[in-house]
């Protein structure tokens, strides 16, 4: 009857990372939902559209690490809320253009400064470790996605 070796889950990086990420996302999600009525996947798509408007579902899938079915459904909800429109790409009619409506732009104009402020506060609190954190995250992705 082998005895399991000592193990400290709290210092296990994947676990720790997951807990912190989850907490942070959930807390933000509460704000998005309460003030703007959108979910995390919806917020991520909007944020990506702020950066590059007119992209396809496929672009979203590749650029922001979101399953295409998830992206498709979130996009449909954004359309239903009047924040985004879907139009067919003229050159390749398999592709879609997701475009911010004026209402979507207004929402982003209110939301993005808050996101920036949140991030600024966070960086300030982390001090010198903030850059190391970003570097570490990049490296983990490189290692883990061979």
Partner DNA sequence: TAATATTCATTGCATTTGCAACGATGTCAA
Partner DNA sequence: TTGACATCGTTGCAAATGCAATGAATATTA
Residues forming contacts to DNA in the complex (CB under 7 A) are 39-41, 56-59, 61, 67-70, 72-76, 86, 91-96
Rounded to whole angstroms, the Cα distance separating 56 from 50 reads 14
Collapsed DSSP state (helix, strand, coil) of residue 55: strand
Q: Does 117 bind its own copies (CB under 8 A)?
A: no
- DSSP strands (E only) in the chain: 84-88, 96-100
Rounded to whole angstroms, the Cα distance separating 128 from 79 reads 41
Residues 117, 120, 122, 125: is their CA dihedral positive or negative? negative
Q: Does 100 bind its own copies (CB under 8 A)?
A: yes
Site string for its own copies, 9-38 (x = CB under 8 A): x-xxxxxxxxxxxxxxx-xx----------
Total binding residues toward its own copies, as defined by CB under 8 A: 64
Q: Which does 54 bind (CB under 5 to 8 A by kind): its own copies, DNA, none?
A: none
**Residue number, 88 or 140, with CB nearest to its own copies:** 140
Minimum distance between the CB of residue 65 and DNA, rounded to whole angstroms? 10
**CB burial class (10 A; 0-12, 13-18, 19+) of residue 130?**
middle
**Residue number, 76 or 119, with CB nearest to DNA:** 76
Instruction: Find the angle CA(88)-CA(69)-CA(114) to the nearest 5 degrees.
Output: 85
Chain positions contacting its own copies, by CB under 8 A: 1-9, 11-25, 27-28, 44, 47-48, 50-51, 64-65, 100, 102, 105-106, 108-109, 112-113, 115-116, 118-119, 122-123, 125-126, 128-130, 132-137, 139-141, 143-145
């Amino acid at each position: 009857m082998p005895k399991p070796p000592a193990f400290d889950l709290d210092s296990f990086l994947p676990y720790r990372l997951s807990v912190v990420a989850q907490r942070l996302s959930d807390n933000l999600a509460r704000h998005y939902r309460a003030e703007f009525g959108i979910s995390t996947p919806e917020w991520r798509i909007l944020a990506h559209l702020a950066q590059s408007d007119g992209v396809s579902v496929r672009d979203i899938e590749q650029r922001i690490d979101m399953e295409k079915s998830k992206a498709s459904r979130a996009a449909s909800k954004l359309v239903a809320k009047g924040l985004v429109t879907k139009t067919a790409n003229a050159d390749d009619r398999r592709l879609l253009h997701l475009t911010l409506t004026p209402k979507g732009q207004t929402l982003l104009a209110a939301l993005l400064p808050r996101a920036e402020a949140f991030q600024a506060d966070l960086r300030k609190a982390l001090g010198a470790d903030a850059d190391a954190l970003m570097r570490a995250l990049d490296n983990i992705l490189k290692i883990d996605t061979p």
